Amino acid sequence: MSRPTTLHRTPHRPHAWLAWLAASQLAVAGLWWVAGWRWGLPALLLSHAAFIVPVFLPRATLYAPALSRLPGDERQVWLTIDDGPSDDTPAILDALDRHGMQATFFLVGQRAQARPELVREILRRGHGVANHTWSHPQAWFWALGPRAMAAQVERAQAVLGELAGQPPRWFRAVAGHTNPFLAAPLRRLGLARAAWSVRGYDAVDGDVVRVLQRLQRGLGPGAIVLLHEGAPHGRSVEIVEAALCLLREQGYASVIPE
């Protein structure tokens, strides 16, 4: 079942944060002038934190709008799988077929270019393909400047668009991080940012029981479920299979909002 296109929100004012920054610093300067450094310095630090902390919060929308949950009270979830394509992709596709579930694969452009047959197989089986940057720079994505950020988004979009026959409509940031330079390329390419509401930390934790416990705690109608493939612990296929079993046991269907 498709969702309304209003869920797909591209950034309309990529530089709106600048107005908030200027207003906050003027307010701090005024407070410092009137009340001195004892009040001005804490206000300065807090004002800077208000612009730094959202960089690391996956559902924060200061720098770009993000979809973190689907509307409605039906027992439906958006199942998303990050970091492919990988050696795990064929087995995950088989698991999705067995359980009658659809998913969106947030693919790394560099990996997709190296394994185009897996991208085509994902699409052939009725799943979605979305943009998860060109090279997945996990340690420093949050700190990219405007040119490097644009390259990460645009190169992946070009490769995935060529392989899929049409450009992706959704983007997921590495680790969910953003910064002031992400919104501009998203707007140029017509991309909407997807966050999540449920995660099991399966990219770093290979314990299936712990991952499922975390997933179960966050499940609810409209949840966006974050899973991964190709994790270093080597148990991604097992975890996805277990997550699909959990969803079926809980009576959830999957939906792709496109």
Among all residues, which ones are annotated catalytic? 82, 228
Do 223 and 199 form a contact (C-beta atoms < 8 A)?
A: no
Angle formed by the axes of helices 116-124 and 89-99, nearest 10°: 0
The whole-angstrom separation of Cα 181 and Cα 95 is 37
User: What are the C-alpha distances in Å from 218 to residues 26, 57, 79, 100, 200?
Assistant: 41, 17, 13, 22, 9
Beta-ladder partners of 192: 170
The residue behind tokens 């991208």 is: 119
In angstroms, what is the C-alpha Rg of the chain?
20
Return the amino acid letter for 113: Q
The whole-angstrom separation of Cα 118 and Cα 100 is 19
Q: Of 166, 243, 177, 172, which Cα lies nearest the Cα of 205?
A: 243
The whole-angstrom separation of Cα 86 and Cα 104 is 15
- Asked if omega into 11 is within 30° of 0 (cis), the reply is no
